[in-house]
Structure 1
Amino acid sequence: MKRIGYIVLGMLLLLCLGTVYAYSVFRKPLEATFGVGATLSGLPYMLALFFYALFMPIGGKLLGKYSPRFVALLGSVMTSLGWIGAGFSRSYLGLLAFYGVLCGIGVGIAYGVPLAVSVSWFPETPGVALGATVIGFGLSPLVTAPIARRLVEAAGPLFALRSLGIAFLFVTVPIALLLRFAESRETSTQSPPPPRTNLIRQGKFWALWMSFFLGTFVGLSTISITGPVAQEVVGLSYEKAALSVSLFAIFNGAGRPLFGYLVDRKGFKTGALLSYLSTIVASLLFFASPHAVTYTFAFAVLWMNLGAWLAMAPATTYALFGRATYAQNYGMVFTAYGVGAIVGTFVSGILRDLTGSYLAAFPLNALLAGGGIGVVFLLERFARKERCA
């Protein structure tokens, strides 16, 4: 297989795994099914993203010991079974266990595999390779949200969950069996990795971690409330709200290769500052004037910026800490995503319940992005200090 084929396979695998981003299509129907409010209805999504991030380091560790096909197969099967089990749940706790825990663990184990495979085949342009691969994760709602919406409308959210899980099982297993590293990487993974403490004791790690946390806090909280904001604040119908999720998925996907290329050419600082500044503008604009036009613009920008961070973070991890233990290192950096998922989703739900509107989340987004600008300069300082040492 030509090396570009591994990027395509990674995109397809992540297309299935990334259906977690279409959760806002299920959120209000699940509120009606289980009789829960905005805070509780976000828990399955929040838990899925938390366990996804928590098991990324474990997936990276497994990838240092076992073949990509084994790790991808394990994660893919767990993800599919999580969706299927969620669809058969008869209680809200069952939904949390299958969708929130099992599905999240599966995504966490499998997610890093196509990224590590792609960068092993394209070491000369890691940002572009990683950005192109993770397009699948970002564009997933473009494909899966309309399908999920039709299934929900036809037979309810539980039927939609188990139907998608069965489909994922038949798609992801054959893909997982085809993944492998480039020959040079196959041999390099046999050498023992450096101690993890070497990573977490470095200031540049924590500056990158905080930058990623702030970017994902805003992005993941935005994604989780996209459908409800469209219906409650802007006044769109359920069908148009679901369609908007598909539209924003295009921007989420486009942000990944765009910012991956930007990091390769101009460096992390340029990409991160552009992301934070556009987040501030979009958030304050929608807060000041919440209607259909500003909703479309602001959420397109915010979805794009989440995609941007899911390309900038791995590419910068590769640039700062090297290739040899990339999967393990990015697994540690990726824990910022899990913390951002929990805090962001929980805070947006609480603000909705306390104030009666999701609008309160947007000034907070702008404030956090402003703090992120300071962290970017801190990371640059740590990196410069190390180069001079």
Structure 2
Amino acid sequence: MSSPPLAPPGWSRWLVPPAALSVHLSIGQAYAWSVFKPPLESALHLDGTQSALPFQLAIVMLGLSAAFGGTLVERNGPRWAMTVALVCFSSGFLISALGAQTKQYWLIVLGYGFVGGIGLGIGYISPVSTLIKWFPDRPGMATGIAIMGFGGGALIASPWSAQMLSSFGTDNDGIALAFLVHGLSYAVFMALGVLLVRVPGADTPVAGASGPGDADGVRVSARSAVRTPQFWLLWVVLCTNVTAGIGILEKAAPMITDFFADSSTPVSASAAAGFVALLSAANMAGRIGWSSASDRIGRKNIYRVYLGVGALMYLLIALFGDSAKPLFVLCALVVLSFYGGGFATVPAYLKDLFGTYQVGAIHGRLLTAWSTAGVLGPLIVNWIADRQKEAGKHGASLYTLSFGIMIGLLVLGFVANELVRPVHVRHHHVPAPREAADDQRQQPA
């Protein structure tokens, strides 16, 4: 097992967020997969369901690799984790390039979805524990900065990918070359994080820390955490919040078009694309804004906002959204800011409940809620919309039932958040003397 790189004397903790951002801005490309869908469908004669497979598998693998690899990330440190993420994520693009070049779509699914998805999961959790250790005074802000990168990665990748496809062409050769450039470029960019990241040593002064270990004495292992009701309550909280957000995000362009199809000023394709860009910006801003606010008002209170106000936003869209575009857009932006904020705040919530001992591994296990929501959200909205269309309905009525379900899920999440209590002392981990000494010499990632 590798040793995590310790910070030398005088090393600034503010170098850790850029290291984390180099990874998260790269793997955040996943949210821009839709740019490749039309060219792939045309070049390989795929339908919309088939062209979505690489993205869906990548999100599933994100949750699974984060869950099963979380303990290894803790044990080996952030540099090891970022290296694994770099190799898997970049290799996924290179395998996909070969698949596009040879017209073997299964290679694209394997490369981007399976191999790249492993890179997504390991890369996503790689800096979390380290950031919390460097910023015990502002854990919400610190994790928000990094996870903001995942939300904002698409703002870079989407126009960049579109420009490459415009320059290289949208046939198999052009798609393959675009995948190749992505793989090589992200490898270089992620390497910056690998080289830059450091963990605090036993004697490293850290602002806001009162001494070794957790100031409140909470120290829960990942194995013990999954046996607590608090973990599963947070699982429900995250799953419901993500399901509600992804229900809008995944179908944003056709949704706003459907809502105002019968109005005097229907939404054009370019305006729908602009709406999607606004949602991405809200997603990114919510990750740093709301998570930073949680440092002041508390994690339970901020999730009351995400879930309670989120349910209200969905209700307003369902009742009045088709009669006022500004109201529809505003409510959707708020929901997406809560979606991003929920991702960024949950590591700090876990730290509050379980301590920093194995918070990265616990976070990884919790991300299975994301995998579930990634399937559940689009399934609810798309399946119900298809059934309503078959029944002869159109416009906003395609989404009334699914929005009602989303409101119910958010209320369920709100109740789960209210039930969260401090972890009972019987779940706390008491280290043996040698283990305690090792913890001080080698801080986990």
User: Could you say which TM-score interval applies, normalised by the shorter chain?
Assistant: 0.7 to 0.9
> Is 1:319 matched with 2:332?
no
| Paired position in structure 1 for 2:86 | 76
| Paired position in structure 1 for 2:209 | none
1:1-389 equivalence runs, <5 A: 1-89=11-99, 90-154=103-167, 155-156=169-170, 158-159=175-176, 160-184=178-202, 196-229=222-255, 240-287=271-318, 288-290=320-322, 293-294=326-327, 296-356=329-389, 360-361=398-399, 363-383=401-421, 386=424
1:284-326 deviation digits (Å, cap 9, x = unpaired): 4445544864553343223212211111211111111111111
For the structure 1 residues 232 and 376, does the alpha-carbon distance in structure 2 shift closer, same or farther, using more than 3 Å as the test?
A: closer
CA distance in 2, matches of 1:81, 1:133: 23
Instruction: Please tell me the root mean square deviation across aligned C-alpha atoms, in Å.
Output: 3.1
The question of whether the paired residues in 2 share the 8 Å contact of 1:38 and 1:353 is answered with no
The question of whether the paired residues in 2 share the 8 Å contact of 1:258 and 1:308 is answered with yes
For the structure 1 residues 150 and 296, does the alpha-carbon distance in structure 2 shift closer, same or farther, using more than 3 Å as the test?
A: farther
Greater Cα shift, 372-381 or 64-73: 372-381
The question of whether the paired residues in 1 share the 8 Å contact of 2:132 and 2:348 is answered with no
Larger Rg: 2
CA distance in 2, matches of 1:229, 1:150: 26
CA distance in 2, matches of 1:23, 1:230: 20
The question of whether the paired residues in 2 share the 8 Å contact of 1:11 and 1:133 is answered with yes
1:356-381 deviation digits (Å, cap 9, x = unpaired): 47964564345334433344334433
Task: State the secondary structure of the residue aligned to 1:134.
Answer: helix
Task: State the secondary structure of the residue aligned to 2:126.
Answer: helix
The question of whether the paired residues in 1 share the 8 Å contact of 2:234 and 2:416 is answered with no
For the structure 1 residues 343 and 167, does the alpha-carbon distance in structure 2 shift closer, same or farther, using more than 3 Å as the test?
A: same
For the structure 1 residues 372 and 240, does the alpha-carbon distance in structure 2 shift closer, same or farther, using more than 3 Å as the test?
A: closer
CA distance in 2, matches of 1:358, 1:326: 45
The question of whether the paired residues in 2 share the 8 Å contact of 1:46 and 1:346 is answered with no
The question of whether the paired residues in 1 share the 8 Å contact of 2:86 and 2:119 is answered with yes
Give 2:40's aligned amino acid.
Answer: L
Give 1:270's aligned amino acid.
Answer: N
Superposed displacement of residue 133, structure 1: 1.8
CA distance in 1, matches of 2:304, 2:405: 14
The question of whether the paired residues in 1 share the 8 Å contact of 2:221 and 2:357 is answered with no
TM-score (norm 1): 0.87
Greater Cα shift, 277-286 or 327-336: 277-286
Q: Which runs of 5+ in 2 are unaligned?
A: 1-10, 205-211, 214-218, 261-265, 428-445
Give 1:364's aligned amino acid.
Answer: S
Task: State the secondary structure of the residue aligned to 1:183.
Answer: coil
For the structure 1 residues 222 and 42, does the alpha-carbon distance in structure 2 shift closer, same or farther, using more than 3 Å as the test?
A: farther
State the number of aligned residues. Answer: 385
| Paired position in structure 1 for 2:433 | none
Higher helix fraction: Structure 1 or Structure 2?
1
The question of whether the paired residues in 2 share the 8 Å contact of 1:72 and 1:110 is answered with yes
Superposed displacement of residue 138, structure 1: 1.3
Task: State the secondary structure of the residue aligned to 1:62.
Answer: helix
For the structure 1 residues 109 and 385, does the alpha-carbon distance in structure 2 shift closer, same or farther, using more than 3 Å as the test?
A: closer
The question of whether the paired residues in 2 share the 8 Å contact of 1:149 and 1:242 is answered with no
Task: State the secondary structure of the residue aligned to 2:127.
Answer: helix
Superposed displacement of residue 241, structure 1: 4.4
Superposed displacement of residue 80, structure 1: 1.4
Give 2:57's aligned amino acid.
Answer: L
Superposed displacement of residue 87, structure 1: 3.4
Superposed displacement of residue 95, structure 1: 2.4
The question of whether the paired residues in 1 share the 8 Å contact of 2:79 and 2:194 is answered with yes
The question of whether the paired residues in 2 share the 8 Å contact of 1:24 and 1:225 is answered with no
Task: State the secondary structure of the residue aligned to 1:383.
Answer: coil
